Structure 1
Amino acid sequence: MENFVFKKITSGMDIPYELLLLADETVEAINRYIFDSSIYVLNDGIQDIAVMAMHPNSNKELEIKNIAVIESYRSRGIGSILIDKTKEIARKNGYTTLTVGTSDTGFQQIKFYEKNGFIKKGIRKDFFTDNYPFPIYENGLQMRDMVVLAHDLSE
């Protein structure tokens, strides 16, 4: 992992939609949050392999809006590295809570967040049916509700 470079996307750089689309269904959905978010990419020395976007919901709560790793790097701990980096950034900037939302059909994602110290805090009913123009399926089930998970950064 020593060759990895973690960098913040600045206003003059291109938004990495190809990476963001690994975790979100449409550019329109990404555009609803991306311009008010901090975007970071992880580069392996050759290419960008992962992305995360964080949005401040308040002066105490930072939300992970998007986190994605390219397929060839999945199941190698990269996602957990991104979560650890997000926690570090959030603490450094005075946030006390880190939140994330994912589909109620995203069983693997929910397990991943719980493994990284998040606990279920709530449900946003009909989030995916109300915010996307077409039905989205995951694990053979239609995505409807968003599961909200939170991590207390004072721990």
Structure 2
Amino acid sequence: MEKFSFNQLSPDSEIPYHLLLLADETKEAIDQYIFKSDLYLLHNGTENMAVMALCKISDTELEIKNIAVTENYRSKGIGSILINKAKEIARKNHYKTLAVGTSDTGFQQIRFYEKNGFIKSGILKDFFIKNYPFPIYENGLQMRDMVLLTHYLSE
């Protein structure tokens, strides 16, 4: 695997919307969480490979709000590297759980999170109907509910 760097963006850095939009449908949706999230970039020299946004939900819960890998680096284990970095950050900051939500039609994403130690922990009914101004389709199906997944961190 190539040599890469992982670093947190400073609050005054430009927001990499072009990367975040790989995992979220609209800039408006991103703006709902991005200003209260910490942003991390994984890059290979000057090329950005992936982005991750982490948001403190409570003193015990950290949530992955966005995780996106550029097309060139997909299916190479980069997503799992980011998940491991998120777990590391959560443990270091004494969180008990790491949470993530994804569409009920995102079968590949759900499998990915389960493969990385997350378990289904809830459903937000009609999340994508209520929070987006237009219907969104994935895998030929309209996105409706958000599937919540949780990873319980050990000390």
Partner residue in 1 for 2:128: 128
Q: Look up the equivalent residue of 2:92 and give its one-letter code.
A: K
Partner residue in 2 for 1:99: 99
Partner residue in 1 for 2:75: 75
Instruction: Describe how 1:33-72 pairs up with structure 2 within 5 A.
Output: 33-72=33-72
Q: Which runs of 4+ in 1 moved over 2 A?
A: none
**1: distance between equivalents of 2:57 and 2:91?**
15
**1: distance between equivalents of 2:124 and 2:85?**
26
Q: Look up the equivalent residue of 2:69 and give its one-letter code.
A: V
Name the % identity.
70
Q: CA deviation at 1:111?
A: 0.2
Q: CA deviation at 1:12?
A: 2.1
Unaligned runs of 5+ in 1: none
- Which SS does the other structure have where 2:113 is aligned? helix
Encode CA deviations 1:88-126: one digit per residue, 9 max, x unaligned: 000000101000000000000000000000000000000
**1: distance between equivalents of 2:38 and 2:71?**
23
- Which SS does the other structure have where 1:66 is aligned? strand
- Which SS does the other structure have where 1:29 is aligned? helix
- Which SS does the other structure have where 2:19 is aligned? helix
Between Structure 1 and Structure 2, how many residues are aligned? 155
TM-score normalised to structure 2 length: 0.98
Q: CA deviation at 1:2?
A: 5.3
